[in-house]
Amino acid sequence: MKQAMNRLLILVILGITIISCNRKATQDLTLEIVGYDTTVFKGGNFRYVGTKYRMSDQNNFVLIHQGEELYWFDVEKDSMVRSINLDTTNLVLPQVNMLQALYHEADSSLILFFPQRSKIIHLDSKLEIEKEVSLSGIQELTHMYMPYGQVFFYDSTRQEYYIGMISGKLEDQKAFSNETRFVGVFDGNSGKLKTSFGEFGEERKKIDAYVNSQGLINFDSFNDEFYIRETVGSSTINKYDAAGNLENSYNLGSSFLSYNIFENKDGEEWFQASVSDHNYEMKLASSNRVVSLGVIFKDKNRNILRDYGVLFIEDLEKGLSYSTPADPFQMILWASDSEIYLVRYHKEVEEMILVKVKYKFGKSIQD
């Protein structure tokens, strides 16, 4: 077990290799930034590595959580309006790490996910336990919950949870890449696993090696549809319906990113190895508009002297990509057809900040 957990830690840092693709021949069109505003998050140690940021279901609040502490940032008021420490309440909660939290504005309820106990707890507006659900079925599939990213959604209409997971066969790369399903669909009442979807591409499954990669997939939802893209080595976005059926695949990406893969050799340290360009973050602005942040890592082997970022938007309907340089390692919280919210570290004040960007597309040859 200890050896398997050590392998899991390596996976979190290094990720899994997938097939290399060539850089696109067609250049991206211009993404124009027409407005820019920042706000410092105040009230807690938000630089803590385990801090997670999540928009509420109606996109009016940023829910920030780190362990047992939760904070609400009101986007309209541009300030922190509430905070709680779950340890100071009368709640009897699992004494393990809380990986995910969701906030529903209509009834001010919270949904908390404790993967080490396979437990989901719903809290009402008074912070009283409304429902507890014990998840089951993932062990029979020889899977484990994905220990990184934010693959956690609840569909109140269908009463289903969508939760990130990976194969538990961490020592067997062929089995891991062939058997992994990225998302499990769990019944909202019984907690039983109903189905699973999302997998590595066929070319990826032929490869049996690691690369330096942070995470495995980008994931988001829009109007009961789910979008998945692998973090490295592929520009393809796969779209699934709420039942996990593949509806469509799109292959755009950004011309500024290379989809070549650099394998991590045995015993090679992170700072010595070449790191593949990353699809670092992804959010849906609409069913046909995907906002992503790409990162090109510093690499002395390729004479890249610093980390670079590119903010790019894919118009899935027209088959066009628009991009602009950006600070690397930002987290995309939310996007619309004119605005993008990001979170990043502000070096001057040594705090985390909310960045609000207004954008528009440059003219294309079709205009």
Q: How confident is the model at residue 218 (pLDDT cuts 50, 70, 90)?
A: very high
Confidence (pLDDT) at 265: 66
Q: For a pLDDT cut of 90, what percent of the chain falls above it? A: 70
For 183-211, what is the mean pLDDT?
89
Q: How confident is the model at residue 166 (pLDDT cuts 50, 70, 90)?
A: very high
Confidence (pLDDT) at 213: 79
Q: How confident is the model at residue 207 (pLDDT cuts 50, 70, 90)?
A: confident
Confidence (pLDDT) at 346: 84
- 146 pLDDT exceeds 80? yes
Paired strand residues for 344? 353
For 340-356, what is the mean pLDDT?
90
Confidence (pLDDT) at 24: 55
Q: Strands 29-40 and 320-326: what pairing?
A: parallel
281, part of any domain: yes
321, part of any domain: yes
20, part of any domain: yes
173, part of any domain: yes
Q: How confident is the model at residue 20 (pLDDT cuts 50, 70, 90)?
A: very low
CA neighbours within 13 Å on the CB side: how many for 241? Answer: 4
- 362 pLDDT exceeds 90? no
Question: DSSP state, 27?
Answer: P
Query: CA dihedral defined by 174, 20, 227, 313, rounded to 10 degrees?
Result: 160
Domain of 193, CATH number, reads 2.120.10.30
CA-closest candidate to residue 153, choices 107, 120, 175, 124: 120
Confidence (pLDDT) at 83: 96
- 26 pLDDT exceeds 90? no
For 209-231, what is the mean pLDDT?
90
Q: pLDDT by residue (tens digit) across 260-289?
A: 888 776 656 656 778 889 999 999 999 999
The CA distance from 55 to 299, in Å, is 34
Q: How confident is the model at residue 300 (pLDDT cuts 50, 70, 90)?
A: confident
Domain count, the chain: 1
Q: CB 363: neighbour CB atoms within 10 A? A: 9
66, part of any domain: yes
Mean pLDDT score of the chain: 88
366, part of any domain: no
Structure-token pair, residue 43: 């009230």
Confidence (pLDDT) at 331: 96
244, part of any domain: yes
367, part of any domain: no
- 15 pLDDT exceeds 50? no
The CA distance from 271 to 165, in Å, is 28
- 344 pLDDT exceeds 90? yes
- 19 pLDDT exceeds 90? no
Among 21-25, 94-98, 166-170, 290-294, which stretch is predicted with the lowest mean pLDDT?
21-25
- 22 pLDDT exceeds 70? no
Q: Taking a C-beta distance cutoff of 8 angstroms, is the pair 330, 293 a contact?
A: yes
Confidence (pLDDT) at 246: 97
- 364 pLDDT exceeds 70? no
| Residue ranges making up the domain that contains 197 | 2-361
Confidence (pLDDT) at 14: 36
Q: How confident is the model at residue 148 (pLDDT cuts 50, 70, 90)?
A: confident
- 185 pLDDT exceeds 70? yes
Q: pLDDT by residue (tens digit) across 85-113?
A: 999 999 999 989 899 999 999 999 999 99
pTM flag (> 0.85)? yes
Cβ-count burial of 177 within 10 angstroms (0-12 exposed, 13-18 middle, 19+ buried)? Answer: buried
